[in-house]
Structure 1
Amino acid sequence: MSTSGAVGGAVTATCAAVDLGASSGRVILGRVGAGELSTTEVARFDNTPIRIARGAGRDRLHWNVLGLYRDILAGLRIASASAELHSIGIDSWAVDYGLLDADGELLGNPIHYRDSRTDGVLDQVRATLGAERIYATTGIQFMPINTLIQLVAARDTAALTAASSLLLIPDLLCYWLTGQRGAEVTNASTTQLLDVRRREWAWELVRAAGIDETLLPPLREPGERIGLVDGTARAELGGGELPVVAVGSHDTASAIVAVPTVTRRFGYVSCGTWSLVGLELDAPVVSEAGRTANFTNELGVDGTTRYLRNVMGLWLLQESLRTWADAGRPAELSGLLADAARAEPFRSIVDPDDPRFLAPGDMPARIAQACRETGQPVPETQAQLVRCVLESLALAYRRTLRQACALSGREVDVLHIVGGGSRNELLCRLTADACGIPVVAGPVEATALGNLLVQARAAGGSGVGDLTAMRALVAATQEVREYAPSGAASDFDAAARRLD
């Protein structure tokens, strides 16, 4: 462990953040201290799911988690060769998991949350266990991707029967680095297996769902030291004593740490493949109205609650681009966005949360069908479709933010868009107009920054005490852009009525 960077009592922590998204991963080298928060991307790699045919219509969509671990180690080798590290932290998407046998061996590559094995299982679970009971305990919105639903779908499989431990994706990767098993609480809260008020596993619900409670590992909080890099990984990373620290391992939890705000009256959109739209609260809001509106209470860093709802997000645009490329019609995104900005406004609007948009496939065809069913013009050009997607997302953000405020009693003065979507100028401008409040876009690397900040605090870094101090450091050091509403909210009102 490094103690470098200490001058006159000040400590600058040098840490490596592993940030895994649904389509790519990065290793970010960061320096954090008094007045300093800098990052260098040392590695980027694809995260491409693999579909495996098993015959008789039993194809499965898997994550290539072994390939991810290989790429992570390669990136960490670069980081550790570039600087003496204080620690490593890993964040990723939520809900998916790996199963280990009694010897700690992985029982197959984890199954992707977009796999069809959970089709119809959500309704079965609600009917069997009771939607009110599940929500009152976990505070989590009902989605077919939730870990609870996945485990019920897998209940009679050979892998689950043989398993002795379940680890969520970032915890699995930390286990391979350190040999220590556990479940970081911000990610565990997304599983729909955690008691959101007690911040512990909901054992009664776990048993009622027919899940072996011995599968679930001990919980850990952000900032806890998991262990030292061990085994072959230690040799690959220089052989020194290098701690792995639990961060907000759900990528949204880390991203919200890095919202550059000085006020509590803010909303956020963590914008990437998914868009997580909501508020930061001091305690969960587990109400019947919240359940009906399908809002979720995910645990955050320092005892906070992320009160939000998932919106399908830029997945619609990503899948459209992939579909066009596969059909021999590749399109460059910046040019498409420029053309979409000039396209006719509000020509077509869809609900991004329509279940038909969840699975991989021909997204333009699905959007066209949704437009036909609502009596709207079908997008005829790529620019028209992009305009449709972005205006639809802005409307969904508005609807979700307004509901979050009404259900929680919290008012907001500003909406922060963080993550990759903050670079999408057209989306940010449309969102400001739709919501009628200023939008602050950035930082793009919010997730990695939040990951690094929690690590730096664990290492005793200067200027990174509580969330307020962390966010002040982000605001002072990171580039953001503000979009003021142009007064077009009434146009969005009219567009929204098409979907009522």
Structure 2
Amino acid sequence: MAEVFAAVDLGASSGRVVTGRFGDGGLELAEVHRFPNEPVRCRGTLRWDIRSLYKGLTDGLRAAVERHGELSGIGIDTWAVDYGLLDASGTLLADPAHYRDTRTAAGVDRVHAVVPPARLYATTGIQFQPFNTVFQLAAEELAAVSSVVLIPDLLSYWLTGELGTERTNASTTGLLDPRTGEWSAELFGELGLRQDLFPPLRDPGVAAGSYEGCPVYTVGSHDTASAVVAVPAASDRFAYISCGTWSLVGLELDEPVLTEQARLANFTNERGVDGKIRFLRNVMGLWLLQEVQRELGLGLGYLLDAAARSAPGRSVVDATDPRFLPPGGMAARITAACRETGQPEPRDPGELARCVLDSLAVAYREAIADATRLSGHQVDAIHLVGGGARNELLCRLTAEACGVPVYAGPTEATAAGNLLVQARAAGALDGSLQDLRTLLRATHPPHPHHPE
């Protein structure tokens, strides 16, 4: 008998509930509900409208039950680093602050004054980003706070009444030791943080409680951790690009790489499902193209067609440059970056979009080359998963830039990985990560793009 699970997958601009039906040796995906994720500015701070997101996910779960009759499990994944603050009664003190809010600048200085960047990296293995949880907490007033609960764990808590901290997402905070998978007691002490500030750690693929009689399971609750589960690789000699608003580019390893060279190359060591390490670099991703599209008011298809007709490699900017992080004015910032580096400025929307896509392809090439050099792990294929897998021009440019085949898909990698981990936890599937990937590859084969 087929079993149906529901993946709650929240991204920076929208959330959705996707069901997965496991039967006849395959996985059938269906999006049953989608809802917006629209941050709000409150008293000068950019915040997530978390109650609206909770309503969206519960509406989606009802839609899933209406469609399938009964669910065998629920799992939640979201973006990383952000959190809610609970008081001693378990009440949320305020809507969670958004990682793009500027309040964290002071937190960076406070943390680095106590723990220098080199030692922080050697302890946690996390790439410097000004919005990392450790810096956000340093900018908070925590006197009235009983618990810090990461976003997917907060939503799971509201569903089940059970508190916990899922380990893959905990690893993004800048407070977890990647070698042990446990909190760094030394770091908590040096930063003046209580040891019990976060609820107890728990692994992906365990029971997290129940919602209206349906089991809730932990999954790779950092969305990239779930996406990497669904990389349909045939061997371990692969690199991945989880391509959405952000592009997470890297390798799956057995051990972290904590060298000074890795820190200077701005690589991160995040935990994955089954104790794997996601050794990766954050690249700004499709955010650049999304902002250009929004500013110009043009359709994505029009922009991509115009980009395909534009001259290749005319201008390339650094897609990891923090200047591209804030919303608004993206076209002007890209043009300024071209001018400052002595390159031709984009003259029309097609050249602007081509600059973005060429820049992403180059950033992917550099990240993969650096990852293989720093880890000693060689690759002969790149798997590009997530929404960017629909962008055939980006996939082709990436294959040409990297000189190895790019396999595109699945586009629904995050939801698929979420569902695979749930199904294994519930006993509907068994086996290793490679077994899960083999099942997915058979039912959702990726599309190859070979370098010319």
Alignment TM-score, normalising by the size of structure 1: 0.89
- Cα distance change on mapping 1:171 and 1:460 into 2, 3 Å: same
In the aligned structure 1, how far is the partner of 2:88 from the partner of 2:340? 52
Code of the aligned partner of 2:280: L
1:267-416 correspondence runs (5 A): 267-324=239-296, 330-416=297-383
In the aligned structure 2, how far is the partner of 1:127 from the partner of 1:426? 45
In the aligned structure 1, how far is the partner of 2:414 from the partner of 2:436? 13
In the aligned structure 1, how far is the partner of 2:4 from the partner of 2:433? 19
1:86-235 correspondence runs (5 A): 86-119=72-105, 121-154=107-140, 157=141, 160-229=142-211, 234=212
Per-residue deviation at 1:348? 1.3
In the aligned structure 2, how far is the partner of 1:126 from the partner of 1:142? 11
In the aligned structure 2, how far is the partner of 1:162 from the partner of 1:332? 47
In the aligned structure 2, how far is the partner of 1:34 from the partner of 1:460? 15
CA root-mean-square deviation: 1.1
CA contact (8 A) 1:33 1:461 kept: no
In the aligned structure 2, how far is the partner of 1:285 from the partner of 1:246? 26
1:427 maps to 2:394: yes
CA contact (8 A) 1:31 1:39 kept: yes
In the aligned structure 2, how far is the partner of 1:471 from the partner of 1:289? 32
Match of 1:37 among 27, 31, 46: 27
Q: State the secondary structure of the residue aligned to 1:471.
A: helix
Code of the aligned partner of 1:477: T
In the aligned structure 2, how far is the partner of 1:315 from the partner of 1:354? 13
Code of the aligned partner of 1:315: W
CA contact (8 A) 2:240 2:383 kept: yes
Code of the aligned partner of 1:213: Q
Code of the aligned partner of 2:367: T
Aligned residue pairs total 451
CA contact (8 A) 1:279 1:306 kept: yes
CA offsets 1:383-436 (integer angstroms, 9 cap, x no match): 111100000000000000000000000100000000000100110000000000
CA contact (8 A) 1:311 1:396 kept: yes
Q: State the secondary structure of the residue aligned to 1:95.
A: coil
CA contact (8 A) 1:32 1:452 kept: no
- Partner of residue 475, structure 1: 441
Per-residue deviation at 1:213? 2.7
Stretch deviating more after TM superposition (198-207 or 406-415): 198-207
In the aligned structure 2, how far is the partner of 1:38 from the partner of 1:17? 13
1:454 maps to 2:436: no
Code of the aligned partner of 1:111: A
Code of the aligned partner of 1:65: I
Match of 2:4 among 14, 17, 24: 14
Q: State the secondary structure of the residue aligned to 1:161.
A: coil
In the aligned structure 1, how far is the partner of 2:121 from the partner of 2:25? 42
In the aligned structure 2, how far is the partner of 1:317 from the partner of 1:209? 38
In the aligned structure 2, how far is the partner of 1:216 from the partner of 1:14? 32
Code of the aligned partner of 1:262: A
Per-residue deviation at 1:121? 3.6
* Runs of 4+ with >4 A deviation: none
CA contact (8 A) 1:206 1:213 kept: yes
- Higher CA-based Rg: 1
Per-residue deviation at 1:33? 4.0
Code of the aligned partner of 2:77: D
CA contact (8 A) 1:152 1:210 kept: no
Q: State the secondary structure of the residue aligned to 1:455.
A: helix
